[in-house]
């Protein structure tokens, strides 16, 4: 943007607050990566939901004002991230659960039941095609 073309105060404040909020929530989500795996897998979704949403809204506001027409192509990123994050984390969580069970420990069961739990996965590996 050129310096002589100044933007109004409400736009500057709105875009600033949305961008700072989104960045702060994303930072909180990655700080949450310091736990055990099944607690850790929840944390980055703070960035993919609220962080992405507020930064996308900030971008839509700013470009709609600058180009003096509704600019909505950032919605594409929002929809895409919202639709794909559950799929990836679901697959990853199932893969992690499978790997834990293949090693003989089940993180879903309480500890005192783990000794006599039966893991059918360890006795016969799944068929590989």
Residues engaged in binding another protein (CB under 8 A): 1, 3, 6-9, 11-13, 15-17, 19-20, 22-24, 26-27, 29-31, 33-34, 37, 40-41, 44, 47-48, 51-52, 55-56, 58-59, 62-63, 66, 73-74, 76-77, 80-81, 84-85, 87-89, 91-92, 94-96, 98-99, 126, 128-129
For another protein, the closer of residues 91 and 117 by Cβ is 91
Cβ neighbourhood burial of 85 (10 Å; 0-12, 13-18, 19+): middle
For another protein, the closer of residues 48 and 113 by Cβ is 48
For another protein, the closer of residues 12 and 117 by Cβ is 12
C-alpha 37/C-alpha 100 separation (Å) is 11
For another protein, the closer of residues 23 and 114 by Cβ is 23
C-alpha 126/C-alpha 129 separation (Å) is 9
Three-state DSSP at 60 gives: helix
* Cβ at position 52, least distance to another protein in Å: 6
Exposure pattern of 48-74 as b/e (b: 16+ CB <10 Å)? bbbbbbbbbbbbbbbeebeeeeebeeb
């Amino acid at each position: 943007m050129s310096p002589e073309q100044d933007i109004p105060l409400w736009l500057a404040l709105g875009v600033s607050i949305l961008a700072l909020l989104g960045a702060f929530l994303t930072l909180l989500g990655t700080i949450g990566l310091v736990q055990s795996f099944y607690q850790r897998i929840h944390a980055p979704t703070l960035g993919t939901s609220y962080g992405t949403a507020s930064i996308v809204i900030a971008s839509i506001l700013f470009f709609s004002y600058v180009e003096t027409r509704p600019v909505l192509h950032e919605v594409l990123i929002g929809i895409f991230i919202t639709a794909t994050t559950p799929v990836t984390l679901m697959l990853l969580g199932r893969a992690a659960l499978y790997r834990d069970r293949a090693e003989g420990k089940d993180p879903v069961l309480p500890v005192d039941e783990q000794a006599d739990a039966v893991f059918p996965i360890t006795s016969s590996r799944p068929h590989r095609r």
